[in-house]
Amino acid sequence: MGRAHDVPVSFDNVRDKNLMLLTKLNLAIFPVKYDGRYYTDALSSGDFTKLAYYGDICVGSIACRIEWNNANVVRLYIMTLGVLAPYRRLGIGSKLMRHILDLCQQDAAMSDIYLHVQTSNEEALAFYQNFGFEVLEKIEKYYTDIERPDCYLLVKSIRPRSKGKATT
């Protein structure tokens, strides 16, 4: 029998037709309410936004925004990464994150990935730090309409993968 982290997971892109699944996941997982810009950015990010399925059940998602600066350097902002509570600690969040990291490493213009996470969210901090994200700064009262509004800004630099070399 395989480890819990070997559970079968498949991904699907987010489109207009299944956008409601992302909305429902966000309502179930996050205290923050996401607006139209979030969903526009998620739809425009292509393969950087995914729904995760455990069998037929949609149990998690990662939603990103691609940001270009003037020098043709690209940054990736993880807007949300979440897995429904009964399906956590099965490696699904890690699979979503590895998918994004693989895409970033294939893109020579990608400089870094960043995100905000509540300072009180120790589980998510442990998760991101396992993937090499570092705390850049603490921002007080970042969130305007939730309890415990302070957040950390986490960043991970991207080093493009050289062709033909495997990475862990």
Catalytic residues: 77, 116
Residue 123 engages ligand ACO in binding (rule: CB under 6 A):
yes
Residue 105 engages ligand ACO in binding (rule: CB under 6 A):
no
> Is the Cα dihedral 76, 77, 78, 80 positive or negative?
negative
CB of 88 to ligand ACO, least distance (A): 3
Q: Please select the residue that binds ligand ACO; options are 130, 132, 146, 159, rule is CB under 6 A.
A: 130
Q: Which of 86, 73, 9, 75 is nearest to 48 (CA)?
A: 75
Q: Please select the residue that binds ligand ACO; options are 8, 126, 166, 167, rule is CB under 6 A.
A: 126
Which residues in the chain belong to E strands, given as ranges? 10-13, 50-54, 57-68, 74-83, 110-118, 134-139, 151-157
User: Helix, strand or coil for residue 118?
Assistant: strand
Residue 119 engages ligand ACO in binding (rule: CB under 6 A):
no
User: Helix, strand or coil for residue 56?
Assistant: coil
Site string for ligand ACO, 16-45 (x = CB under 6 A): -------------x----------------
Encoded tokens for 128: 């991101």
Residues within the interface to ligand ACO (CB under 6 A): 29, 78, 80-83, 88-94, 115, 117, 121, 123-124, 126-127, 130
